[in-house]
Amino acid sequence: MVVLAGVSVIVFALVHLVPGDPIRLALGTRFDQATYDALRARSGLDQPLVEQFFGWFGRALGGDLGVSFRSGETVTSLIAERLPATLTLAFASILVALLIAVPLGTISALRPRSFVDRVATVLSQIGISVPEFWMAIVLILVFAGTLGWLPSGGYVPLTEDPGAWAQRLLLPAVVTGVVSGSVITRFVRSSVLEALGADHVRTAQAKGLPQRQVFTWHVLRNALLPLVTVTGVQLAYLLSGVVVVEIVFSWPGLGQLALQAVQARDYPVLQGAILLFAVVFLLINLVVDLLYTAIDPRIRR
């Protein structure tokens, strides 16, 4: 609660420091002073900033994030409308990332300084270095433009058409999954290497235990803690919206909603979106801590 209050203060202050008048942007170029004053009063912008903050924060605690200056819809409904697309892309991307990172990082650690290890290192470096928008454009050109196998963008809900949903999800999930997977691969490799060098692993090997049993019960379990940490961070980042990927693929996620709110100086939408991002980070950190206790009984004690 203290963290959320601190985030709310910082977000509210930064949002109101952005130059531009949201009321003028909402009304356009033709309006009279009476209309301007009435909309400004209805939005609460005629009050001192301190009163505006406490009024907004008090309503936010009750689930009321305000009304959009631009569309007139409630912020809660706008976020709820974009949330399924963001959740879909985030969890699909983290699945792709783990499917890349866990096998590649593990094989690389089991065969250090080998050809496989060098290839994995180069591939992970390329995945981190290549800009997401460039990778997205290349995939669109190849799979949508040249081959015509997949659509170039857009979003279809799963309940409407599962086939079209999967087709439109594949390319953005691969782009974000490759980037996150490249980051996670390095952590997997280093954590598995560290676990392999532990005393209890060498003792188990000296006792003649099968390599598969040693890896499963002694190496993998100890290597899971860093993996859970970095996966949680990447998932929180993806749930907060991948703005560039969403724009390239016309994906209606929360990142694009926040960007549009910045461009329109839509204070309630921007504040609500960033507050949601903060809640997501806090919840994922809580889940990661709970997973720690399940993986390592020493932490529980």
Higher pLDDT, 218 or 152: 152
pLDDT at 94: 92
Task: Tell me if 301 is assigned to some domain.
Answer: no
pLDDT, residue 301, reads 57
Per residue in 281-295, pLDDT (tens digit) is 888 888 888 887 777
Is residue 145 in a domain? yes
Question: How many structural domains does the chain have?
Answer: 2
Q: What is the pTM of this model?
A: 0.83
Q: Of 30, 61, 92, which residue sits at a domain end? A: 61
Show the domain range for 137.
Answer: 75-295
pLDDT, position 142: 92
pLDDT at 225 (0 to 100): 80
Query: For 16-70, what is each residue's pLDDT tens digit?
Result: 777 777 777 767 667 777 777 777 777 777 777 788 888 888 888 788 888 887 7
Tokens at residue 294, please? 């399940």
Which CATH number does the domain housing residue 221 bear? 1.10.3720.10
Is the domain of 155 the same as that of 267?
yes
Let me know if residue 81 belongs to a domain: yes
Are residues 171 and 41 part of one domain?
no
What is the tens place of the pLDDT at every residue in 181-225? 998 998 888 888 887 777 777 777 777 777 777 777 777 777 788
Residues 150 and 285 in one domain: yes
Distances in whole angstroms, Cα of residue 47 to Cα of each of 23, 34, 213: 14, 17, 67
Verify that 15 and 131 share a domain, yes or no.
no
Q: 101 and 45 share a domain? A: no
Residue 69 lies in a domain: no
145 and 283 share a domain?
Answer: yes
137 and 12 belong to one structural domain: no
